[in-house]
Amino acid sequence: MRPAFGYRRQGGMVLATGLIFLLLMTMIGVASIQTTSLDERMAGNLRDRNLAFQSAESALRDGEDNVMNAPSPQLKTLVTDQTPDPNDDDGWSDELQLADAMEDVYARPIYVIEELLDLSSALEFNDLGGLYRVTSRGLGSTNTAVVVLQTTVGRGVVDDP
């Protein structure tokens, strides 16, 4: 007796089709895993850079606050001759001004104050009026995420009548 629906003629076609579908599903799964891991790395790097930026911003604000509010003798001790190269890790040492530490950062942020223009002698005041450049350097949670920020601060001299 002959089998109904011609089962003898299929010759394993279902098996071959099933294996092709299995191969396609495996390729889609591997691609999804690669995309997800890349997205995760990008998010981690963005977080790390954001931490470095916040750290550098914190140090910049500390430097600006010192320029604006420090007494003249103390400000003279904070002013340096030149800013270290932002791309050179060796120039930024712990001998420079350290700002308050933040959580989850690799190292404390550092800032440098440079005097650009001294107005105190021109205005015949004893206070250090003039222009100052504050440069800060912050690290993220690793030492590869580095942000350097710079601003110019004017310290005015007010003569009380």
Domain locations along the chain: 12-155
Q: Encode pLDDT of 73-127 as tens digits.
A: 777 777 777 777 777 777 676 556 666 677 888 888 888 888 887 766 555 555 5
What's the token pair of residue 2?
């002959």
Q: Encode pLDDT of 27-52 as tens digits.
A: 999 999 999 999 999 998 999 999 99
Contact 139, 109 (CB under 8 A): yes
Contact 67, 112 (CB under 8 A): no
